[in-house]
């Protein structure tokens, strides 16, 4: 049985000038000549990927698609049209991402995480609604460093990440400091593996390692204010988040670190850089 959207090994059943037909005597599809491996003959087996051509006919290719049925990958938008966006997935015919399957407005030249599925018309399409395609059975443990891509941002909950394009991950709201957007690649640390197997993530290192980085960030921001930051750790969490992309607790730790190192001082409700003069 020929399977749409999957890689499979099919037998060559007959040859034509324009290519070869692969499958069996009851069902066979064309593998165009330009994709036929040199030396292939009738009776040989060939690994192919099956999709539909511009006329909606099943067709085989030996080219490597960026994703197969049920998989998740980050694909670049080539153009947008009246029915949706068209994605580059490594094959001759671009992959359609229908408007109804877009979780955010996509833009040409940008990449977004999508899954491959078969629509009601038996065509291959992409969807940005990838939650159900991700697994909770990852090999990662606490403190592991992982790579992923943002596929949803919920201001009330956090940032949802497809780890390795396979596993459920989330940066909770309390740890989601910064301006995350769908399609952003992220490197994160596993804070915890939940009972259901999903990964709780943070883009920040463990506190003992993060303090120095936060202190450096704080110094840079103070310098951008000509050496005088117009607020202290008594400022609201919203102000600290907006100016420094860190939590109030992290800010207070950074301030304490710099005070101890005598690189800053606090007076008149402001943080000033010590110039050494």
CATH number of the CATH domain containing 260: 1.10.10.10
Residues 156, 121 share a domain: no
Residue 82's alpha-carbon distances to 16, 96, 156, in angstroms, are 37, 11, 32
> Could you tell me if 39 and 13 lie in one domain?
yes
Q: Is residue 208 over pLDDT 60? A: no
Q: How many Cα atoms within 13 Å fall on the side-chain side of residue 68? A: 12
Final residue of a domain: which of 167, 202, 237? 202
Query: Would 198 be classed as within a structural domain?
Result: yes
Q: Which two tokens stand for residue 14?
A: 């007959």
Specify the CATH number for the domain of residue 144: 2.40.50.140
At 101-154, the pLDDT tens digits run 999 999 999 999 999 999 999 999 999 999 999 999 999 999 899 999 999 999
The percent of residues above 90 in pLDDT, for the chain, comes to: 64
Sheet-wide strand order for 228-229: 228-229, 270-273, 264-267
Provide the pLDDT for residue 94.
Answer: 95
Residue 76 domain flag: yes
For residue 232, the model assigns a pLDDT of: 79
Specify the pLDDT at position 211.
Answer: 74
Q: Summarize pLDDT for 226-238 with one digit per residue, the tens.
A: 888 888 778 887 8
Q: Does 146 share its domain with 197?
A: yes
- Top-confidence residue, 254 or 34: 34
- pLDDT tens, residue by residue, 1-53: 899 999 999 999 999 999 999 998 789 999 999 999 999 999 999 999 999 99
pLDDT given for residue 10 in this prediction? 96
Residues 152 and 113 in one domain: no
Which of the pair, 99 or 219, is modelled with greater confidence? 99
* Tokens linked to 273: 């850089």
**pLDDT for res 138:** 95
Read off the tokens for 239: 């102000």
pLDDT for the residue 234: 80
Residue 97: both structure tokens together? 């991402």
Together in a domain, 85 and 145? no
In the chain, how long is the greatest CA-to-CA distance? 89
Which helix (H) or strand (E) segment holds residue 26: the answer is none
CA distance 77 to 147: 22
- As a whole number of angstroms, the distance between CA 36 and CA 164 comes to 32
What integer pLDDT is reported at residue 137 of this predicted model? 95
Asked if the structure places residue 1 within a domain, the reply is no
**Helix (H, G, I), strand (E, B), or coil: what is residue 133?**
helix
pLDDT at 269: 80
Burial degree of 182 (CB within 10 A; 0-12, 13-18, 19+): buried
For the residues 248-258, what does the mean pLDDT come to? 79
Helical packing angle, 207-224 and 237-244, nearest 10°: 80
Structural domains counted in the chain: 4
- Burial readout 149-165 (b: 16 or more C-beta within 10 A, e: otherwise): bbbbbeeeebbbbbbbb
Nearest to 183 by CA among 162, 158, 154, 157: 162
Where is the domain boundary, 92, 111, 131? Answer: 131
Q: Which domain holds residue 268?
A: 207-273
- Specify whether 194 is located in the same domain as 245: no
Does residue 189 sit within a domain?
A: yes
What is the pLDDT at residue 265? 84
Token digits for 253? 């730790």
Q: Does one domain contain both 198 and 214?
A: no
In a domain, 45, yes or no: yes
3-state helix, strand, coil in the chain (%, to 5): 20, 40, 45
The stretch 168-197 carries a mean pLDDT of 90
Q: Does 82 lie in the same domain as 52?
A: no
Predicted pLDDT at 209: 58
- Does some domain include residue 156? yes
> Is 2 within the bounds of a domain?
no
- Residue predicted with more confidence, 92 or 261: 92
Residue 97 lies in a domain: yes
From 169, 202, 235, the end of a domain falls on: 202
Q: What is the pLDDT of residue 276?
A: 57
């Amino acid at each position: 049985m020929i399977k749409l959207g999957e890689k499979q090994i099919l037998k060559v059943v007959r040859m034509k000038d324009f290519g070869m037909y692969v499958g069996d005597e009851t069902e066979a599809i064309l593998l165009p000549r330009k994709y036929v491996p040199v030396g292939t003959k009738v009776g040989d087996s060939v690994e192919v990927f099956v999709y539909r051509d511009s006329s909606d006919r099943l067709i085989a290719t030996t080219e490597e698609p960026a994703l197969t049925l049920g998989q998740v990958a980050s694909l670049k938008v080539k153009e947008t049209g009246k029915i949706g966006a068209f994605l580059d997935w490594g094959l001759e015919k671009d992959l359609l991402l229908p408007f109804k399957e877009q979780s955010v407005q996509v833009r040409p030249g940008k990449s977004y995480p999508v899954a491959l599925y078969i629509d009601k018309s038996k065509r291959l399409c992409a969807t940005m609604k990838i939650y159900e395609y991700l697994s909770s059975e990852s090999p990662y443990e606490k403190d592991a460093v992982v790579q992923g891509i943002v596929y949803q941002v919920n201001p009330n909950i956090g940032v949802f990440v497809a780890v390795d394009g396979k596993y459920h991950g989330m940066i909770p709201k309390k740890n989601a400091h910064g301006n995350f957007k769908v399609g952003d690649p992220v490197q994160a640390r596993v804070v915890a593996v939940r009972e259901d197997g999903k990964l709780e993530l943070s883009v920040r290192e463990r506190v003992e390692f993060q303090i120095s980085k936060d202190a450096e960030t704080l110094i840079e921001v103070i310098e951008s204010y000509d050496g005088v930051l117009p607020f202290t750790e008594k400022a609201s969490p919203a102000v600290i988040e907006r100016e420094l992309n860190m939590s109030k607790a992290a800010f207070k730790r950074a301030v304490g670190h710099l005070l101890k190192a005598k690189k800053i001082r606090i007076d008149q409700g402001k943080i000033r850089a010590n110039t050494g003069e």
